[in-house]
Structure 1
Protein backbone atom coordinates (compact mmCIF):
# COMPACT_ATOMS: atom_id res chain seq x y z
CA UNK A 1 0.00 0.00 0.00
CA UNK A 2 2.86 2.37 0.71
CA UNK A 3 3.96 2.26 -2.93
CA UNK A 4 0.50 3.26 -4.12
CA UNK A 5 0.40 6.15 -1.65
CA UNK A 6 3.65 7.39 -3.18
CA UNK A 7 2.16 6.95 -6.68
CA UNK A 8 -0.87 9.03 -5.61
CA UNK A 9 1.48 11.74 -4.36
CA UNK A 10 3.41 11.59 -7.64
CA UNK A 11 0.14 12.09 -9.52
CA UNK A 12 -0.65 15.10 -7.33
CA UNK A 13 2.84 16.44 -8.00
CA UNK A 14 2.28 15.99 -11.72
CA UNK A 15 -0.82 18.17 -11.47
CA UNK A 16 0.89 20.96 -9.52
CA UNK A 17 4.35 20.85 -11.13
CA UNK A 18 3.48 22.83 -14.28
CA UNK A 19 2.66 25.89 -12.18
CA UNK A 20 5.74 25.54 -9.98
CA UNK A 21 8.12 24.73 -12.84
CA UNK A 22 6.66 27.31 -15.24
CA UNK A 23 6.02 24.66 -17.89
CA UNK A 24 4.74 25.29 -21.39
CA UNK A 25 1.19 24.48 -22.45
CA UNK A 26 1.87 20.93 -23.72
CA UNK A 27 3.59 19.86 -20.49
CA UNK A 28 0.92 21.54 -18.42
CA UNK A 29 -1.95 19.87 -20.27
CA UNK A 30 -0.21 16.51 -20.08
CA UNK A 31 0.26 16.86 -16.32
CA UNK A 32 -3.34 17.90 -15.81
CA UNK A 33 -4.62 14.90 -17.77
CA UNK A 34 -2.25 12.12 -16.68
CA UNK A 35 -1.87 13.22 -13.04
CA UNK A 36 -5.49 12.62 -11.95
CA UNK A 37 -5.56 9.27 -13.73
CA UNK A 38 -2.44 8.14 -11.85
CA UNK A 39 -3.97 9.31 -8.56
CA UNK A 40 -7.22 7.47 -9.32
CA UNK A 41 -5.55 4.17 -10.16
CA UNK A 42 -3.22 4.43 -7.16
CA UNK A 43 -6.07 5.10 -4.73
CA UNK A 44 -8.14 2.24 -6.15
CA UNK A 45 -5.11 -0.06 -5.73
CA UNK A 46 -4.83 0.71 -1.98
CA UNK A 47 -7.22 -2.14 -1.14
CA UNK A 48 -6.06 -5.69 -1.36
CA UNK A 49 -8.94 -6.91 -3.51
CA UNK A 50 -8.27 -4.25 -6.17
CA UNK A 51 -4.47 -4.26 -5.95
CA UNK A 52 -4.12 -5.37 -9.58
CA UNK A 53 -5.26 -1.89 -10.66
CA UNK A 54 -1.73 -0.70 -9.78
CA UNK A 55 -0.63 -2.18 -13.11
CA UNK A 56 -2.84 0.28 -14.98
CA UNK A 57 -0.29 2.96 -14.08
CA UNK A 58 2.45 1.19 -16.07
CA UNK A 59 1.35 2.53 -19.49
CA UNK A 60 0.96 5.98 -17.95
CA UNK A 61 4.52 5.82 -16.64
CA UNK A 62 5.76 4.78 -20.08
CA UNK A 63 3.78 7.66 -21.60
CA UNK A 64 5.45 10.09 -19.20
CA UNK A 65 8.84 8.83 -20.41
CA UNK A 66 7.86 9.35 -24.05
CA UNK A 67 5.73 12.51 -23.77
CA UNK A 68 8.55 15.09 -23.82
CA UNK A 69 9.53 13.99 -27.32
CA UNK A 70 6.07 13.17 -28.63
CA UNK A 71 4.63 16.49 -27.47
CA UNK A 72 7.80 18.50 -28.11
CA UNK A 73 8.58 19.96 -24.69
CA UNK A 74 10.90 22.95 -24.78
CA UNK A 75 11.55 23.40 -21.05
CA UNK A 76 14.39 21.19 -19.79
CA UNK A 77 12.97 21.16 -16.27
CA UNK A 78 9.66 19.80 -17.60
CA UNK A 79 11.49 17.06 -19.48
CA UNK A 80 13.47 16.00 -16.41
CA UNK A 81 10.33 16.14 -14.27
CA UNK A 82 8.39 13.90 -16.66
CA UNK A 83 11.25 11.41 -16.92
CA UNK A 84 11.69 11.23 -13.14
CA UNK A 85 7.97 10.92 -12.38
CA UNK A 86 7.48 8.37 -15.17
CA UNK A 87 10.32 6.17 -13.91
CA UNK A 88 9.07 6.39 -10.31
CA UNK A 89 5.47 5.60 -11.30
CA UNK A 90 6.66 2.51 -13.16
CA UNK A 91 8.86 1.41 -10.26
CA UNK A 92 6.18 1.87 -7.60
CA UNK A 93 3.51 0.24 -9.77
CA UNK A 94 5.58 -2.94 -9.85
CA UNK A 95 5.60 -3.25 -6.04
CA UNK A 96 3.19 -6.10 -5.27
CA UNK A 97 2.52 -5.62 -1.58
CA UNK A 98 1.73 -8.20 1.06
CA UNK A 99 -1.22 -10.53 0.43
CA UNK A 100 -3.15 -11.22 3.62
CA UNK A 101 -6.55 -12.43 2.42
CA UNK A 102 -7.98 -14.48 -0.47
CA UNK A 103 -10.94 -13.01 -2.29
CA UNK A 104 -13.44 -14.86 -4.47
CA UNK A 105 -11.46 -16.61 -7.14
CA UNK A 106 -12.84 -14.73 -10.11
CA UNK A 107 -14.76 -16.33 -12.94
CA UNK A 108 -12.63 -19.45 -12.68
CA UNK A 109 -14.39 -20.29 -9.40
CA UNK A 110 -17.66 -20.68 -11.29
CA UNK A 111 -16.25 -23.57 -13.31
CA UNK A 112 -14.43 -25.40 -10.48
CA UNK A 113 -16.23 -27.82 -8.21
CA UNK A 114 -13.87 -27.58 -5.24
CA UNK A 115 -13.30 -23.92 -4.41
CA UNK A 116 -11.98 -22.54 -1.12
CA UNK A 117 -15.47 -21.20 -0.35
CA UNK A 118 -17.09 -24.61 -0.91
CA UNK A 119 -14.50 -26.29 1.32
CA UNK A 120 -15.05 -23.73 4.07
CA UNK A 121 -18.83 -24.24 3.85
CA UNK A 122 -18.42 -28.01 4.27
CA UNK A 123 -16.24 -27.68 7.34
CA UNK A 124 -18.04 -27.40 10.62
CA UNK A 125 -17.11 -24.53 12.87
CA UNK A 126 -15.39 -25.63 16.03
CA UNK A 127 -16.93 -24.40 19.24
Structure 2
Protein backbone atom coordinates (compact mmCIF):
# COMPACT_ATOMS: atom_id res chain seq x y z
CA UNK A 1 0.00 0.00 0.00
CA UNK A 2 2.82 2.40 0.88
CA UNK A 3 4.59 1.62 -2.39
CA UNK A 4 1.40 2.37 -4.33
CA UNK A 5 0.90 5.71 -2.61
CA UNK A 6 4.57 6.56 -3.11
CA UNK A 7 4.38 5.67 -6.81
CA UNK A 8 1.19 7.68 -7.34
CA UNK A 9 2.74 10.68 -5.62
CA UNK A 10 5.92 10.47 -7.75
CA UNK A 11 3.88 9.92 -10.90
CA UNK A 12 1.80 13.02 -10.16
CA UNK A 13 4.98 15.05 -9.55
CA UNK A 14 6.26 14.25 -13.05
CA UNK A 15 2.95 15.31 -14.62
CA UNK A 16 1.02 12.06 -15.10
CA UNK A 17 -2.69 11.91 -14.37
CA UNK A 18 -3.42 10.59 -10.86
CA UNK A 19 -6.60 8.74 -11.85
CA UNK A 20 -5.22 7.29 -15.07
CA UNK A 21 -2.14 6.04 -13.23
CA UNK A 22 -4.26 4.61 -10.41
CA UNK A 23 -6.55 2.72 -12.78
CA UNK A 24 -4.20 1.72 -15.61
CA UNK A 25 -0.75 1.91 -14.02
CA UNK A 26 2.13 3.67 -15.59
CA UNK A 27 5.78 3.54 -16.58
CA UNK A 28 8.62 2.93 -14.19
CA UNK A 29 9.83 6.25 -12.83
CA UNK A 30 13.58 6.88 -12.75
CA UNK A 31 14.65 3.32 -12.18
CA UNK A 32 17.26 1.32 -14.05
CA UNK A 33 15.69 -1.88 -15.30
CA UNK A 34 17.24 -5.24 -15.96
CA UNK A 35 16.99 -6.07 -19.68
CA UNK A 36 15.75 -9.56 -18.75
CA UNK A 37 12.53 -8.79 -16.92
CA UNK A 38 9.31 -10.34 -15.81
CA UNK A 39 8.22 -13.57 -17.36
CA UNK A 40 11.08 -13.54 -19.88
CA UNK A 41 13.37 -14.79 -17.11
CA UNK A 42 13.92 -18.52 -16.61
CA UNK A 43 11.54 -20.01 -14.04
CA UNK A 44 14.38 -20.80 -11.63
CA UNK A 45 15.49 -17.17 -11.64
CA UNK A 46 11.91 -15.98 -11.08
CA UNK A 47 11.55 -18.27 -8.06
CA UNK A 48 14.98 -17.23 -6.70
CA UNK A 49 14.18 -13.51 -7.06
CA UNK A 50 10.83 -14.09 -5.38
CA UNK A 51 12.41 -15.86 -2.40
CA UNK A 52 15.32 -13.48 -1.86
CA UNK A 53 14.03 -10.14 -3.11
CA UNK A 54 13.68 -7.69 -0.22
CA UNK A 55 13.55 -10.45 2.35
CA UNK A 56 16.21 -11.80 4.67
CA UNK A 57 15.79 -14.53 7.24
CA UNK A 58 17.63 -13.48 10.42
CA UNK A 59 17.95 -16.30 12.92
CA UNK A 60 16.34 -14.09 15.55
CA UNK A 61 13.14 -13.74 13.52
CA UNK A 62 13.16 -17.45 12.67
CA UNK A 63 13.37 -18.05 16.43
CA UNK A 64 10.42 -15.72 17.01
CA UNK A 65 8.42 -17.64 14.41
CA UNK A 66 9.23 -20.93 16.13
CA UNK A 67 8.19 -19.49 19.50
CA UNK A 68 4.90 -18.46 17.90
CA UNK A 69 4.46 -22.04 16.70
CA UNK A 70 5.21 -23.31 20.21
CA UNK A 71 2.54 -20.99 21.65
CA UNK A 72 0.00 -22.51 19.28
CA UNK A 73 0.74 -25.95 20.75
CA UNK A 74 0.73 -25.31 24.52
CA UNK A 75 -2.59 -27.07 24.95
CA UNK A 76 -1.24 -30.20 23.25
CA UNK A 77 2.14 -30.09 24.97
CA UNK A 78 1.18 -29.15 28.52
CA UNK A 79 -2.60 -29.45 28.75
CA UNK A 80 -3.09 -25.71 29.17
CA UNK A 81 -6.75 -24.80 29.72
CA UNK A 82 -8.83 -21.66 29.24
CA UNK A 83 -8.22 -18.70 29.54
CA UNK A 84 -4.42 -19.17 29.32
CA UNK A 85 -4.90 -21.38 26.27
CA UNK A 86 -6.72 -18.58 24.41
CA UNK A 87 -4.00 -16.13 25.39
CA UNK A 88 -1.21 -18.42 24.20
CA UNK A 89 -3.00 -19.30 20.99
CA UNK A 90 -3.82 -15.70 20.10
CA UNK A 91 -0.32 -14.52 21.00
CA UNK A 92 1.20 -17.33 18.91
CA UNK A 93 -0.77 -16.29 15.83
CA UNK A 94 0.15 -12.63 16.24
CA UNK A 95 3.83 -13.46 16.92
CA UNK A 96 4.06 -15.45 13.68
CA UNK A 97 2.41 -12.68 11.65
CA UNK A 98 4.72 -10.03 13.12
CA UNK A 99 7.89 -12.12 12.68
CA UNK A 100 7.11 -13.10 9.09
CA UNK A 101 6.20 -9.51 8.24
CA UNK A 102 9.52 -8.36 9.72
CA UNK A 103 11.42 -10.67 7.34
CA UNK A 104 10.81 -7.94 4.74
CA UNK A 105 13.60 -5.46 5.27
CA UNK A 106 11.42 -2.38 4.80
CA UNK A 107 9.09 -3.71 7.51
CA UNK A 108 11.85 -4.82 9.90
CA UNK A 109 10.74 -2.30 12.54
CA UNK A 110 7.50 -4.26 13.00
CA UNK A 111 9.51 -6.88 14.95
CA UNK A 112 9.53 -4.49 17.92
CA UNK A 113 5.81 -5.21 18.42
CA UNK A 114 6.86 -8.67 19.61
CA UNK A 115 8.67 -7.16 22.63
CA UNK A 116 5.52 -6.20 24.60
CA UNK A 117 3.83 -9.34 23.30
CA UNK A 118 6.71 -11.41 24.66
CA UNK A 119 6.44 -9.68 28.01
CA UNK A 120 2.72 -10.49 28.05
CA UNK A 121 3.42 -14.15 27.28
CA UNK A 122 5.94 -14.22 30.14
CA UNK A 123 3.46 -12.67 32.59
CA UNK A 124 0.24 -14.34 31.42
CA UNK A 125 0.63 -17.67 33.31
CA UNK A 126 0.77 -15.69 36.55
CA UNK A 127 -2.22 -13.51 35.65
CA UNK A 128 -4.53 -16.06 34.01
CA UNK A 129 -5.85 -19.42 35.13
CA UNK A 130 -5.46 -22.66 33.24
CA UNK A 131 -1.73 -23.30 33.28
CA UNK A 132 0.30 -26.07 34.84
CA UNK A 133 3.57 -25.43 36.66
CA UNK A 134 5.68 -26.58 33.71
CA UNK A 135 3.54 -24.55 31.28
CA UNK A 136 4.05 -21.46 33.45
CA UNK A 137 7.83 -21.86 33.45
CA UNK A 138 7.78 -22.62 29.73
CA UNK A 139 5.66 -19.55 28.91
CA UNK A 140 7.93 -17.40 31.06
CA UNK A 141 11.00 -18.62 29.17
CA UNK A 142 9.29 -18.35 25.78
CA UNK A 143 8.05 -14.82 26.48
CA UNK A 144 11.43 -13.54 27.64
CA UNK A 145 13.14 -15.23 24.68
CA UNK A 146 10.60 -13.67 22.32
CA UNK A 147 11.19 -10.20 23.73
CA UNK A 148 14.96 -10.63 23.57
CA UNK A 149 14.99 -12.07 20.04
CA UNK A 150 12.83 -9.22 18.77
CA UNK A 151 15.34 -6.51 19.65
CA UNK A 152 18.24 -7.08 17.19
CA UNK A 153 17.67 -5.95 13.60
CA UNK A 154 19.43 -8.85 11.94
CA UNK A 155 21.52 -8.80 8.80
CA UNK A 156 20.63 -6.63 5.83
CA UNK A 157 21.00 -7.51 2.21
CA UNK A 158 22.83 -5.28 -0.28
CA UNK A 159 19.54 -4.16 -1.77
CA UNK A 160 18.36 -0.58 -1.44
CA UNK A 161 14.81 0.68 -1.24
CA UNK A 162 15.09 4.31 -2.19
CA UNK A 163 13.63 6.61 0.44
CA UNK A 164 12.69 3.62 2.62
CA UNK A 165 16.33 2.84 3.54
CA UNK A 166 16.22 5.38 6.36
CA UNK A 167 13.34 3.56 8.05
CA UNK A 168 15.01 0.16 8.28
CA UNK A 169 15.87 -0.21 11.99
TM-score normalized with structure 1 length = 0.76
Verify: 1:48 aligned to 2:105, yes or no. yes
Residue aligning to 1:3: 60
Residue aligning to 1:105: 163
Residue aligning to 1:93: 150
Report which of the two structures shows the higher radius of gyration computed on alpha carbons: 2
Residue aligning to 1:65: 122
8 Å CA contact 1:26, 1:73 repeated in 2: yes
Residue aligning to 1:26: 83
Moved over 6 A (4+): none
Cα RMSD after superposing both structures: 1.7
94-103 or 73-82: bigger deviation: 94-103
CA distance in 2, matches of 1:48, 1:23: 35
TM-score normalized with structure 2 length = 0.58
C-alpha deviation, 1:72, in angstroms: 3.5
Residue aligning to 2:92: 35
Aligned pair count reads 107
Structure 2 residue ranges without an equivalent (≥5): 1-57
Residue aligning to 1:14: 71
CA distance in 1, matches of 2:68, 2:93: 6
Higher relative contact order, structure no. (Cα contacts within 8 Å, ≥ 6 residues apart)? 1
93-102 or 36-45: bigger deviation: 93-102
Distance 1:83 1:51, change over 3 A: same
Structure 1 residue ranges without an equivalent (≥5): 109-127
Distance 1:43 1:69, change over 3 A: same
CA distance in 1, matches of 2:142, 2:70: 9
C-alpha deviation, 1:95, in angstroms: 1.6
